[in-house]
Amino acid sequence: MRNACLVVVDAQNDFMPGGALAVPGGDEVVPVINRLAARFENVVLTQDWHPRGHASFASSHPGTKPFEVIQLHYGKQVLWPDHCVQGTAGAAIHSQLDVQKAQLVIRKGHHRGIDSYSAFLEADRKTATGLKGYLKEREIERLLLCGLATDFCVAWTALDARSAGFETTVIEDACRAIDLEGSLGRAWSDMTKAGVRRAQSAAL
Ligand code: VGL
Ligand code: ZN
């Protein structure tokens, strides 16, 4: 699979049970991803990496609460509890994730005023992370996505991967979702429409 790359999205402590923005069952993906990663020559990780006072934090907008939606200069933004603050234990990749072979870690969400669910383009839909250029230069054509959360960072990354021309598959049992007011169902329907494939790890 020289032209394929496994992209492990945000497998970080703050998205695990007990973390600041815990995704139900988030830790269950770790052994599944470890089994998958053993079979890939190319592995890339993403890491949500926010400065203190980030625009996606409810704590940065007095009078708001986590999970409310507000309007920012680039459009709608869900407000989250403070999470994945640069350099904190919560921002670290899960210690059981066997990622020694990963060749690149894309850190995203580091501009204070712009969120970035996608590993390709920030929420202003203009600022690129550089991942597309990296993968194209490595002649990668197929992306297999796993990690957290299915309906936010995995889905946005998958949709942008399709726009960038990659054959894209989301490995469902290697992901877990936040599922805010139907967001998981919407994410799957958007991904299916965009030509993202849905697979189970056992079938790969
Ligand atoms: C994520 C919400 C906020 C994710 C990151 O990794 O899906 N979700 N920041
Ligand atoms: Zn975030």
**Considering every ligand atom, which ligand is closest to the CA of 154?**
1
Token output for 32: 């599944």
Instruction: State the closest ligand 1 atom to the C-alpha of 149, by its place in the atom list counted from 1.
Output: 7
Q: If you measure from the C-alpha of residue 203 to the centroid of ligand 2, how many angstroms do you get, rounded to a whole number?
A: 31
- Alpha helices, DSSP H, located in the chain: 29-37, 131-137, 155-163, 183-193
Residue 119 has a pLDDT of: 98
Is the pLDDT score of 1 beyond 90?
A: no
In this predicted model, what pLDDT tens digit does every residue of 6-52 receive, in sequence order? 999 999 999 999 999 999 999 999 999 999 999 999 999 999 999 99
| Residue from 15, 50, 59, 151 to probe ligand 1 pocket by mutation (most atoms less than 8 Å from CB) | 15
Residue 178 φ/ψ region, left for φ over 0, alpha for ψ in the -120 to 50 degree band, beta for the rest: alpha
Q: Mean pLDDT over all residues of the chain?
A: 97
| CB neighbour list of residue 156: distance below 8 Å, 6 or more residues apart | 117, 118
Domain ranges of the chain: 4-51+83-203
Can you give the pTM of this predicted structure? 0.98
Q: If you measure from the C-alpha of residue 53 to the centroid of ligand 2, how many angstroms do you get, rounded to a whole number?
A: 12
Fold classification of 4-51+83-203 is: Rossmann fold (3.40.50)
In this predicted model, what pLDDT tens digit does every residue of 79-127 receive, in sequence order? 999 999 999 999 999 999 998 999 999 999 999 999 999 999 999 999 9
| HSE (side-chain half, CA atoms, 13 Å) at 50 | 25
Supply the residues annotated as catalytic: 10, 108, 153
In this predicted model, what pLDDT tens digit does every residue of 117-169 receive, in sequence order? 999 999 999 999 999 999 999 999 999 999 999 999 999 999 999 999 999 99
